[in-house]
Copies of this chain bind each other. A is one copy, B any other.
Amino acid sequence: MAAQEQYPLTSTNLLQSLSSTDRAQLLSIGSVDRVEKNALIFHAGAPSEYVYIILNGQAKIYELSPQGKEVIMWFCFSGELFGLAEVWRGTHRDVYAQACSAVDLIKINRKRFRQYLMDDPAMAMRVIDILSGRLRILGDMLLNLTSNDVTARLVKLLARLFQRYGSSRDGRIYINIPLTHQEMADMIGCCRQTVTSTLGVLKRTHGLRSDRRMLYMEAESSQVAAETLTKLSIDLAESTI
């Protein structure tokens, strides 16, 4: 299990892995756009006309149940590609993409993107790699959801966030996204109140802190923070047995 937490960052980051000529070419077939915080980039039911690459900011990809329950599938950061899954068939979207901050992005027509991939097999391989990685992550989420309780799920989520998005500032490791309890609940499939209280326990019993919706820990590196939490999650799993 532990190994699954360690997907290399590059697996999800498209832009970073590109040569500058590739990057230029991507820019040339797409157009740069800016969306303000909280705006929907696309919504379920909409036609799938574009794929997107984030230049700056964060967006969340989620589904919405008929009863209005959000299920957040992932957060996208700069360099990441999204909106790909439905675009091939050209069917309508079945997820929502919403900006969590002001976002700059490249928007590429699906047919052009497809053509681009046809002409550049290496790039197509990158895309396959990205999709594979997401598949593994969703599989992991599925496993988590069905076989761990809320505490374990939350701890694992935090471990993953620290690992992927943790950054150091005056001796503390921060998760660089302001997350509400509701959003965390939507990521691990439970209700907001449960997140509030579970987080409360973690704050009281382990060194978790928060400041203006940013979670942090006292640790030397995000690796250490993530590992501390991962160990904790293993302990939890074992104590349950």
Report the interface size for chain A: residues with CB under 8 A from the other chain: 52
Given contact pairs A94-B136, A135-B138, A136-B94, A189 touches B121 in the complex (Cβ within 8 A) = no
A-B contact pairs, 30 of them (CB 8 A): A3-B92, A3-B94, A4-B94, A11-B89, A63-B142, A65-B143, A66-B237, A69-B146, A71-B142, A71-B143, A71-B147, A84-B128, A85-B132, A85-B139, A86-B132, A86-B136, A89-B129, A89-B133, A94-B140, A117-B125, A118-B121, A119-B121, A121-B124, A128-B131, A131-B131, A134-B135, A138-B138, A138-B139, A138-B142, A145-B189
Shortest CB–CB separation between residue A194 and chain B, in angstroms?
A: 13
Q: Mark A180-191, 1 if CB is under 8 A from B, else 0.
A: 000000000100
Q: Which of B89, B127, B145 contacts A142 (CB 8 A)?
A: B145
Interface majority SS on A: helix, strand, loop or mixed?
helix
Shortest CB–CB separation between residue A90 and chain B, in angstroms?
A: 11
- Whole-angstrom CA separation of A72 from B85 in the bound complex: 21
- A95 contacts chain B at the CB level, 8 A cutoff: yes
